[in-house]
Structure 1
Amino acid sequence: MTRTVLLAIDTSTEYCSVALLSSDERHASASPPIWSRHDATGAVSSARVLPAVRELFDEAGLSLADCSAVAFGAGPGSFTGLRTAAGVAQGLAFGLGVPVVPVGTLLVCAESARLRDTTASRVLAVLDARMDEVYWADYGWDAVQGEWAVLSRPSLAAPDALVAPPSAFTLAGNAAAAFGERLPVASAAHVVDHEAVPHAVPLAHVALRAYRAGRTAPAEQAAPEYIRDKVAQTTAERLAARTVSNGELAR
């Protein structure tokens, strides 16, 4: 079989994002056709995922039996959302007898930035992690390999603790909009791409490269990558954060 049909699912944010990509291995360099849904669902993405999957297969004129692999946004992101994507991907992959392709959501942000601007070869991906912190990672595009190199692994930090890369870079993700001046690296960025956030379309592109390279996993190994162990702030931490915020507004 020369065709790869890859289903990609991301529910790491308030969106339920699903994409279906069909690639002919005989024309691997060509841009493959892709169908997608990206719906604002809040905390109820689980109710939208499977209907969206059915819609895309119908729209593409394909059946679930044509699926080669199921990719999912592994994290970091919403705890509930990550479990939703991993669980749905695992269930579908089990039923179809195909592998899963876990993809980091920060890497998806980098790929999203590059899809809109092919000159984006150094990307600092930073997402609002809530609780006054950010998820971040640093990536460099290897044009020879046609892959992203991980320069700094996904981590958790205070927004003002990030250090800008030494060369020109694109800041991807929603952290600049969420934190404003409290994210100093934004002012050092060559480009700030607020739209480079987790989305199933760039996820599918990353996953296709991973699939072709054999970087897949059995369905039973589908699992989220949380980075943070703590789900919520304590009452004292929330009050302290509110006091700091009020103090900043007063100035």
Structure 2
Amino acid sequence: MTVPEVATPKPAVAPTLLVLDTATEFLHLGLTLRGRSYTRALAGGAQASAALLPALRGLLDEAGIGWHELDAIGYGRGPGAFTGVRAACAVTQGLAFGLGKPVLQLDTLMAVAEDASAQGAGDAIQVAVDARMGEAYAAAYRRDAGADAGWQLLGEPALHDPADLARDLAPGFAVAGNSLLAHAEAWAGFGGHRAPAAAPRAEALLKLARWQWSRGDRLDAAQALPLYVRDRVALTTAEREAVQVAKQAAAAATP
């Protein structure tokens, strides 16, 4: 009697993903190809938009592939610097439209949490990133220890007073992000794990992108939109003066 052959399942092919985040003072860029990662961290600033496409092209050249070999493009949607977030969205939309590729929408603050976790911050992390004007872009994240299921967002990213964040922080949470340095006085009393250097680095972005790809969380290029949590980029002179007066009054009233 002939025994029928049993087909051996083919291993899943790892996707080729390009990721970028320009919401901070750095350009964090990454590419994953056949299990290998290629990354860049470049200075941002005024010339970031002009440098972005050549830097991405450089990643592909290093890996030896062309644009059409990408499976998807992941971008950091923010929150963060207005110009940087807009640049990431514009470049991602342009590439995705032109190549006919899907988009992976990545949470910039979640990437900071992922980077902090890789540095030993654990799996319950309050992210706080300097938003200027004495405020922080912040959100809290949690995941099961050792799980690959991704992060649970515990409230939408928003603007916060760092002192309020420090006061209301839930027990057991680490804090990650440069608010720890920019608003050092507000965090002076926090005695838990600190990860001030955590950032939306390429390896963190790639891990989030692979997770989204495995879940099927892919968007059309038209849906590559920024996340803004502030409708203005600067206080007026009168508002800055009012803030200072309020701070002085509060300090004088403190016993």
- TM-score under structure 1 length normalisation: 0.87
Q: Counterparts of 2:14 and 2:147 in 1: how far apart (Å)?
A: 24
Q: 2:31 aligned with 1:20, yes or no? A: yes
Give the equivalent residue in structure 2 for 1:174.
178
Give the equivalent residue in structure 2 for 1:95.
98
SS state at 1:160 partner: helix
Give the equivalent residue in structure 2 for 1:28.
none
Task: Map 1:60-79 onto structure 2 (within 5 A).
Answer: 60-79=63-82
Match of 1:40 among 38, 43, 56: 43
- TM-score under structure 2 length normalisation: 0.86
Are residues 135 and 41 of structure 1, via their aligned partners in 2, closer, same or farther at CA, if it must alter by over 3 Å? Answer: closer
Alpha-carbon distance, 1:208 to partner:
1.1
Larger strand proportion, structure 1 or 2?
1
Alpha carbons 2:24, 2:44 under 8 Å: kept: no
Q: Deviations over 1:18-44 (max 9, x none)?
A: 111124xxxxxxxx3211111113122
Give the equivalent residue in structure 2 for 1:183.
187
Alpha-carbon distance, 1:158 to partner:
1.1
Alpha carbons 2:115, 2:198 under 8 Å: kept: yes
Give the equivalent residue in structure 2 for 1:141.
143
Alpha-carbon distance, 1:128 to partner:
0.7
Alpha-carbon distance, 1:93 to partner:
0.8
Alpha carbons 1:140, 1:151 under 8 Å: kept: yes
Structure number with bigger Rg: 2
Give the equivalent residue in structure 2 for 1:226.
228
Q: Deviations over 1:88-119 (max 9, x none)?
A: 011111111111111111101100011222x6
Match of 1:208 among 207, 210, 219: 210
- Aligned pair count reads 237
Q: Which runs of 5+ in 1 are unaligned?
A: 24-31
Give the equivalent residue in structure 1 for 2:53.
50
Are residues 123 and 11 of structure 1, via their aligned partners in 2, closer, same or farther at CA, if it must alter by over 3 Å? Answer: same
Q: Counterparts of 2:172 and 2:118 in 1: how far apart (Å)?
A: 18
Give the equivalent residue in structure 2 for 1:130.
132
SS state at 2:77 partner: strand
**Identity between Structure 1 and Structure 2 (%):** 38
Give the equivalent residue in structure 2 for 1:27.
none
AA at the equivalent of 1:130: R
Q: Counterparts of 1:108 and 1:42 in 2: how far apart (Å)?
A: 20
SS state at 2:143 partner: strand
AA at the equivalent of 2:26: Y
Q: Counterparts of 2:168 and 2:192 in 1: how far apart (Å)?
A: 11
Q: Counterparts of 2:18 and 2:247 in 1: how far apart (Å)?
A: 42
AA at the equivalent of 1:131: M
Are residues 165 and 41 of structure 1, via their aligned partners in 2, closer, same or farther at CA, if it must alter by over 3 Å? Answer: closer
Q: Which runs of 5+ in 2 are unaligned?
A: 1-11
AA at the equivalent of 2:236: T
SS state at 1:101 partner: strand
SS state at 1:188 partner: coil
Q: Counterparts of 2:68 and 2:180 in 1: how far apart (Å)?
A: 42
Q: Counterparts of 1:182 and 1:78 in 2: how far apart (Å)?
A: 22
Q: Deviations over 1:160-198 (max 9, x none)?
A: 1114443322211000100111235xx435211111122
